[in-house]
Amino acid sequence: MMEFNQKVIDSIINDVDKSIELHRLIPVLYPHCTCNASKDNKCFKCKSLEAIDDLDCLISHLKPLNRNTIHHVQWIDVESFCYSLGKTGQINSIEIQPIFNGPNPEHPNSEPPIGFTIHVTPTSRFAMDGNGFHVGYETVTYEWKAYSKHELGIAGLPYLLSSWVVNPNEYEIINKDLPDEEEPIHNDDCEFKDDDPDSFDNCDCAEFWEGYYPPDDDFFYEEINSILEFTNWVEAEFDPDIREWTLGYTSFNVNEYQTNSDYADSCNQDNGMPSFGTYC
């Protein structure tokens, strides 16, 4: 299934440009109009000029499109999602946690997980106060939910290689480890400091105060969006010589599946599930 992404748009623009150049040769080869009086029977030259105008119009609509103007759900295999993020150099940890359907999730039964969550913690940021002094680190953890390809009806890659996907644009902040927020204080010579230490209505002690204020959530959302936008998502590859699929750190060998019962049982049991625990 083709995704309507920036790479596809650039390819379409390139192909249309080539078509326009070919159409421009037609008026050179056929310089004279041979249309008859009827508008319904135009000559080859006039038809080519109309096609050029139509293609130019199409180009003008495609070129403004970019990463920031295309909004669509792009399901990514969990293995590709975790592997590719881990390769950006901007992620401190990735952890895949199973969701069990049992009375006590801490001690699940032998049934397989009913779902997965993916916790991603980018590299911690230096936290600065208003004067530019280092006051600690800002560490934020985001959570994504994985969905079953079976339930979504997604086909393509073998389910035994990968059967869970994630929407990279669907996530939330689940934890923030930030320095303590600082509060302004009265100057030593302030005559109002003893009246109400938390009020600055009658003085200007807080006017130029430059303590640490934690960023709002929008700042952290923009940060992770920037990482996602420039992540090169790895795609599955198939080696026909050994009939083996690979995706990130996972693989599925068709030959071995058909000839090795132990391997087949293991694949059927895992059913393309991601590996639990810390990914990177």
Output the DSSP codes for 185-247: ---TT-TTTTT-TT--TT--TTTT-----PPPHHHHHHHHHHHHHT------EEETTTTEEEE
Determine contact, residues 74/5, Cβ cutoff 8 Å: yes
145, containing H or E segment? strand 134-148
Pairing state between β 125-128 and 237-239: unpaired
**138 and 55, same structural domain?**
no
Instruction: Tell me, yes or no, whether 52 lies in a domain.
Output: yes
User: Among residues 260, 249, 274, 85, which one has the least CA distance to residue 168?
Assistant: 85
**54 and 82, same structural domain?**
no
Report the pLDDT value the prediction gives residue 234, as an integer from 0 to 100: 92
Report the pLDDT value the prediction gives residue 203, as an integer from 0 to 100: 84
Instruction: Tell me, yes or no, whether 119 lies in a domain.
Output: yes
Instruction: Tell me, yes or no, whether 174 lies in a domain.
Output: yes
Instruction: Tell me, yes or no, whether 229 lies in a domain.
Output: yes
User: Among residues 174, 199, 41, 177, which one has the least CA distance to residue 118?
Assistant: 174
CA distance 126 to 61: 42
Instruction: Tell me, yes or no, whether 252 lies in a domain.
Output: yes
CA atoms within 13 A on the CB side of 9: 15
In terms of phi and psi (left: phi > 0; alpha: psi -120 to 50; beta: otherwise), the region of 220 is: alpha
Grouping H, G, I as helix, E, B as strand and the rest as coil, residue 11 is helix
Question: Which residues in the chain land under pLDDT 50?
Answer: 1-2, 68, 71-72
40, 62, 84 - which closes a domain = 62
**125 and 83, same structural domain?**
yes
**253 and 126, same structural domain?**
yes
Dig out the tokens for 11 from the structure: 């390819």
**29 and 162, same structural domain?**
no
CA distance 31 to 26: 8
Dig out the tokens for 170 from the structure: 């669907």
Report the pLDDT value the prediction gives residue 164, as an integer from 0 to 100: 94
Dig out the tokens for 136 from the structure: 């600690």
| Domain limits for position 163 | 76-179+214-278
Read off the pTM. 0.66
**252 and 137, same structural domain?**
yes
Q: Tell me the per-residue pLDDT of 14-39, one tens digit each, with 9 for 90 and over.
A: 888 888 888 788 777 777 887 765 55
Q: Give the count of domains, the chain.
A: 2
**242 and 159, same structural domain?**
yes
**173 and 54, same structural domain?**
no
**84 and 42, same structural domain?**
no
Q: Tell me the per-residue pLDDT of 35-45, one tens digit each, with 9 for 90 and over.
A: 765 556 778 78
**129 and 247, same structural domain?**
yes
**115 and 82, same structural domain?**
yes
Q: How many CB atoms lie within 10 A of CB 73?
A: 9
**13 and 104, same structural domain?**
no
For residue 56, the 8-state DSSP code is H
Report the pLDDT value the prediction gives residue 110, as an integer from 0 to 100: 57
Instruction: Tell me, yes or no, whether 194 lies in a domain.
Output: no
